[in-house]
Structure 1
Amino acid sequence: MLFLFAINPASGGKGKNEWEVAIHNFFAQNEHQAELFHLDGETDDVELPKKIQEIKPDCVVAVGGDGTIKCVAEQLVDTGIPLGVLPAGSANGMARELNIPQDIDGSLNLLVNGESRPIDCIDVNGELCIHLSDVGLNAQLIRYYQRNNLRGKLGYLKSVVKVLSQRRLLKVEINLDDQCVQRAAFMIVLANARMYGTGAVINPDGDPSDGKFEIVVFRRLTFWEIIKLFWRYQPFNTRNIEIFPATSINIETHKKTHFQVDGEYQGKVKEINAKIRPGVLLMRLPA
């Protein structure tokens, strides 16, 4: 097999020399081939598909975090070319979701010994979503974090404190499949998976291969409900957190609010339209 590694040098806030050395060493010991391609964050949507067309790889591997996975996946949807992952980002939420090993050797072995299986994606306002999108509190947190000069846990904590001090309820109307729901909420999540990169489980029964996604409505944010997010066996109090399965949805807010897709801040919106795209992305996953 020929593997094309799309490497994001900036993800995770540290260099990828260790990963590149490991890739070279690993493929020097087997019959498979590897070629490296460095993403630059500016011309990737043009140069990456050109590279794929040029060498026709059997698998394209995203080396980075959730943003890198999204960038590479956008070029592979409906192509039949599998997406592999080396989790070299800071959180690696989607890799954890799919049980992809977090260490270099384990994730490299998975590429050659795993199997290619289809997963669903969500079309959210024209953006491809593989993992989680949301409006409200978390999207605002991502905006502050990305604008913050600090990185790592300290930068994240500073952003959390700022967002929680400014939290406001949103008035929303949610039209999903055959029902209409009106709520006041701090955050609405469109979930194709179970958890955020932090390990917080917001959608315990989520499955990225079941042909649907879930809308998670955070009506209240109590201390105990936040604690429960990190313990999967704890059921949510439906007065605080509601979950609705759907294949398509329209959300309208009474005023513009912060919006993010797979960890990338998208600005403020008043309306979200989303629909499931079943099985459109092949991924290299544990057998």
Structure 2
Amino acid sequence: MKKVVFIANPVSGNGKAKKAAELSASILKDNAFEVSIKFTEYAGHATTLVQQLSSKADIIVAVGGDGTVNEVATGLVGSKTVLGIIPNGSGNGLARHLKIPMSTKKAAECLIHGKLQPLDAPTINDKFFFCTAGVGFDAHISHVFAKMEGRGLKNYIKAILKEYGSYASQDYTISLDDSSSVNQKAFVLTVGNAAQYGNEAVIAPNARIGDGTLELTALPQPNLIRGAIWGIRLFMKNIDKDSSVNTFRGKEIKINNTAQSVDGHRDGEPDTWEYPLLFQVKQENQITVIANSTLV
């Protein structure tokens, strides 16, 4: 009998994550899994719980958004225990990349019938991320969004519209796998392990979660028309086809700037880093995740 532990923040979404964990656990119990639920008590607690429980469980399931997934997955690095996801956040970028249904019941069924996939565990200045991370306007928005009342796509768009006109591109130096560097003026620099931010907004269309490489997408300062086109392309999953957009690939991506530090985003959560920024992926950190069986 496989042992499954669900980890959720009991107050997230006014208790939605708690209810999702309880429903999912009930479904797996009815399918002959041994299940238990652990609730987090503070930021970072999920990682601690996973490190304590991973040797005693076959699957540990993150119930929540990309932030919760990040904490749980971080705790699994170096372990053979499998990561499962019940999406219950505002963007659910990694879950959507894995084609996991947004319905709790169907996501739970995916834990039973899904397929195992390798999942790289890249770092940005030694901090793990599993979906996307970066600097620029999207990072600025993640910091603004974190201070707003309420989550969801509506508030995210509201933050974009409010901040769009006042944010200016920055000058960066980019080097890939210790190769020669290039100068890049960019409005957005996003590194993708997975393809999307969340809500099906695909910023790194060619990113693959287990191929040992990262995809960097660089967007220049847009005018209103270009910005609108990018918005359409994000949801059409072809922003890399825009002639104004540059993409880079590598196992190690270094980004520098004349500033000392920068506000960034890591799996949808705001973070702050010191320059230079080192994004890298190492084979030994790779973990295993349950994806929808329909994932190609």
Asked if TM exceeds 0.5, the reply is yes
| Equivalent residues in 2 for 1:68-147, closer than 5 Å | 68-147=68-147
Cα distance change of structure 1 residues 150 and 119 upon mapping to structure 2, 3 Å threshold? closer
Cα distance change of structure 1 residues 164 and 14 upon mapping to structure 2, 3 Å threshold? farther
Give the equivalent residue in structure 2 for 1:202: 203
C-alpha distance in structure 1 between counterparts of 2:238 and 2:154, whole Å: 29
C-alpha distance in structure 2 between counterparts of 1:280 and 1:74, whole Å: 10
Give the equivalent residue in structure 2 for 1:7: 8
Question: 1:12 touches 1:64 (CA, 8 Å); kept in 2?
Answer: no
Secondary structure of 1:174's aligned partner: strand
Give the equivalent residue in structure 2 for 1:273: 278
Amino acid at match of 1:274: F
Deviations 1:224-279, CA, capped at 9 Å, x for gaps? 123211112565233x2110111112110132432111112112543201211236
Amino acid at match of 1:49: Q
- Give the unaligned 5+ runs of structure 1: none
Percent same amino acid among aligned pairs?
A: 25
Secondary structure of 2:203's aligned partner: coil
Determine if the alignment matches structure 1 residue 245 to structure 2 residue 240: no
Give 1:37 shift: 0.2
What TM-score, normalized by structure 1, do the two folds share?
0.91
**74-83 or 146-155, which deviates more:** 146-155
Amino acid at match of 2:66: D
Give 1:174 shift: 0.3
| Equivalent residues in 2 for 1:155-166, closer than 5 Å | 155-166=155-166
Name the one with the larger helix percent: 2
Give 1:148 shift: 1.6
Question: 1:12 touches 1:90 (CA, 8 Å); kept in 2?
Answer: no
- Give the unaligned 5+ runs of structure 2: none
Secondary structure of 2:146's aligned partner: helix
Determine if the alignment matches structure 1 residue 259 to structure 2 residue 267: no
C-alpha distance in structure 2 between counterparts of 1:277 and 1:236, whole Å: 29
Which aligned runs of 4 or more in structure 1 are off by greater than 3 angstroms? 10-14, 42-48, 150-154
Determine if the alignment matches structure 1 residue 285 to structure 2 residue 267: no
Name the one with the larger strand percent: 1
Secondary structure of 2:111's aligned partner: helix
Give the equivalent residue in structure 2 for 1:151: 151
**59-68 or 158-167, which deviates more:** 158-167
Secondary structure of 2:198's aligned partner: coil
Amino acid at match of 2:291: L
Determine if the alignment matches structure 1 residue 46 to structure 2 residue 51: no
What TM-score, normalized by structure 2, do the two folds share?
0.88
Deviations 1:180-201, CA, capped at 9 Å, x for gaps? 1101111111111211113222
Give the equivalent residue in structure 2 for 1:212: 213
Cα distance change of structure 1 residues 186 and 273 upon mapping to structure 2, 3 Å threshold? same
Give 1:3 shift: 0.3
Question: 1:11 touches 1:90 (CA, 8 Å); kept in 2?
Answer: no
Amino acid at match of 2:290: R
Question: 2:8 touches 2:18 (CA, 8 Å); kept in 1?
Answer: no
